């Protein structure tokens, strides 16, 4: 069913990057691990090394899952806003071109949740 707006709503978004004091939002989800039902949102400075994102920040979020200890970032694949993407672990998120409110999805071959349940 189509919906028609009764007014032309014009407003500035409340979550523009200038409101994050030098940080930017980055969303990261882990495919085939529905124990985490939605991507995590992180507010990070663009100077954050990608290796730190993976080894410390994501580990703090996803580390509770039994598969996390088996993650091999050398075989992992990534999607950036739905498109295949290959990060360089030695660069910062800013150097990699990650922008405010970008979405990353981590895919880990062979890891499909608890007993293969995707959870």
Q: CATH topology for 21-116?
A: Ubiquitin-like (UB roll) (3.10.20)
Domain ranges of the chain: 21-116
Q: Strand order in 77-80's β-sheet?
A: 40-44, 24-30, 102-107, 77-80, 83-85
Mean pLDDT, range 104-113, rounded to an integer? 95
User: Per-residue pLDDT tens for 65-93?
Assistant: 999 999 999 999 999 999 999 999 999 99
pLDDT-derived band at 98 (thresholds 50, 70, 90) equals: very high
Q: Say if strands 40-44 and 77-80 run parallel, antiparallel, or are unpaired.
A: unpaired
């Amino acid at each position: 069913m189509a919906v028609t707006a009764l007014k032309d709503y014009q407003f500035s978004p409340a979550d523009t990057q200038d409101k994050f004091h030098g940080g930017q939002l980055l969303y990261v989800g882990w495919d085939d691990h529905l124990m985490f039902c939605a991507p995590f949102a992180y507010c990070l400075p663009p100077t954050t090394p990608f290796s730190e994102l993976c080894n410390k920040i994501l580990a703090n979020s996803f580390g509770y899952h039994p598969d996390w200890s088996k993650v091999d970032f050398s075989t992992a694949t990534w999607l950036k806003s739905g498109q295949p993407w290959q990060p360089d672990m030695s660069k910062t998120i800013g150097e990699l071109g990650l922008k405010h409110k970008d979405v990353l999805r981590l895919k880990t071959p062979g890891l499909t949740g608890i007993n293969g349940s995707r959870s």
